[in-house]
Chain A
Amino acid sequence: MKMPMKLVLISAFLLGCGTVALANPSRPQPQVGQPFGPLVLPTVDGSQVVDLASFHGRKVLLIEFASW
């Protein structure tokens, strides 16, 4: 049975420094056979915060792009 897409909704009021994983200045480029690494970002419409880790157990197609 297909699981609903799990989006992590984080209230701005709950966000402190320790709740959000960010990459430090030495984050290397993703490599095949290695974890992509922590990724928590807001959506472009501002409605959600998405944590890549919330999709573990499912295959992910991740597309980095720009509309220009």
Chain B
Amino acid sequence: MPVWHELSKSWRESHDLVVLGIAQEQHPERCDLYARWQGFDWPILWDPFNLTEARAVPIVYAIDEAGMVRAIRPNPATFEAEFLERDFGAGAARPGDVAESSGTELVECAAHDPSSAEGTMWQALSQLLFADGAVRPIDATVGALRLFSAQHPEDARALFRLGVALRMRYDSAQRQGSDFQDALLAWSGALTARPNEYIWRRRIQQYGPALDKPYPFYPWVDEALAALVDRGEAVPVLSAALTQSERAAPQRRFVGAEDAVEPDPEGAILRDDGGWLEVDTAVAHHTDAADPVARVHVAFRPRTDSGVHWNNEAEPMVVWFGDETLPDGWALGSQWVRVAGETSDVVSSEVRSAEVELRLPPGAKGTLSGYALFYACEDVDGVCTYLRRDFTVDVVAR
């Protein structure tokens, strides 16, 4: 995109060219950050549900004055002569004219019976996309997509969009514990039905194992944030913390865990029975069914409604994944993970995630057990303690 951005600077003036972007991403603020960092000064639209049905990115369209596509993936070297300076006979078009589709079934929401599952789904999607961010009707959207998908299981697009909505809810205050796992299952189901949907595949790989990554997804975020701060510019608030998977580099072979010493083999540390941390888990499988590797996500959230905060003056949280009960043929990439906070504050309450790679036979399902050892305080000035939180991960089949 930087190439087209640089080239189009003068064209926007000399030829009255409009430049628009469409971001095929789950999280809009990350693209907003990227655009500010790169200095993009043209509107970038957000299409998390893949409504444009783009099957690849990047892809560039040259559209004339009448809304007709004149080139797909135009050559930057000849763009000015072959598009900007060319008369397509579209001069009669006036600002505000609406392009008419040709062979394309385009619908308005109102065209559907609002009491039908399809009408309800489109209404919910519209209201979710165009509502103010603070009042997104996410529960209604998830419900509408679930209902439509149940009635139309053959509609893989609806299943993908259900996954998008579930992940949105997971990143919101309305989060339900299984939302992330349910999103991954919906995306996997959609991709199984339509394996050539590149955007859908990338949405899973974003959270998936290193063996399935074509490249790191968001390694530039810290650099971009620092650059904006240095420039004294506004920094978008990232509503969802980046997972380690989203920063991870690709790997080409599975590396098993080295021998490690279990930190609490006797179970001597006092337990958190749920009053201190909320825990949710998800398993993202490799998008190729023949490659039986998955990435396990375990997220820990202090119960802020009870005043719980991380104690950042103490050592980082250690998360141990047990392998003694793993089914035959399963192997962990690591048995323990150290999870530190990313703030200099004495206390904080952000989500902290532990991730580990898991090799397992194709189609296998089972349970992975582990525990976290962590320091937390009841309140900013309250009791601080060191606790162990046990968890299990239901490894669902792909």
Contacts and interface: CB of A to CB of B under 8 A. Distances in A.
Nearest to B135: A12
Interface in A10-67: 10, 12, 15-39, 41-46, 48-50, 52-67
A28 B110 CA distance: 21
Contacts of B109: 16-20, 22
Nearest to B111: A18
Contacts of B84: 59
Contacts of B51: 22-23, 27, 41
B15 A42 contact: no
B106 A27 contact: yes
A35 B70 CA distance: 9
A57 B138 CA distance: 37
A15 B29 contact: no
- Which of under 10, 10 to 19, 20 to 34, or 35 or more describes the interface residues of A? 35 or more
B326 interface: no
B94 interface: yes
Interface of B is mostly: mixed
Interface in B2-30: 4, 8, 11, 13, 15-25, 28-30
In this complex, the member of A32, A37, A49 whose beta carbon has the largest number of chain B beta carbons within 10 angstroms is A37
A35 B58 contact: no
B157 A25 contact: yes
B17 A58 contact: yes
B100 interface: yes
Nearest to B79: A61
Interface stretch (B60-68, B330-338, B343-351, B374-382): B60-68
Nearest to B114: A17
A53 B97 contact: yes
A67 B185 CA distance: 24
B255 interface: no
Contacts of B98: 38, 53, 56
B236 interface: yes
B222 interface: no
Contacts of A56: 65-67, 93-99
The 6 A-B pairs with the shortest beta carbon distances in the complex, nearest first, are A18-B110, A17-B109, A67-B34, A41-B45, A44-B28, A57-B95
B52 A39 contact: yes
Interface string B53-77: 1110111111111111111100000
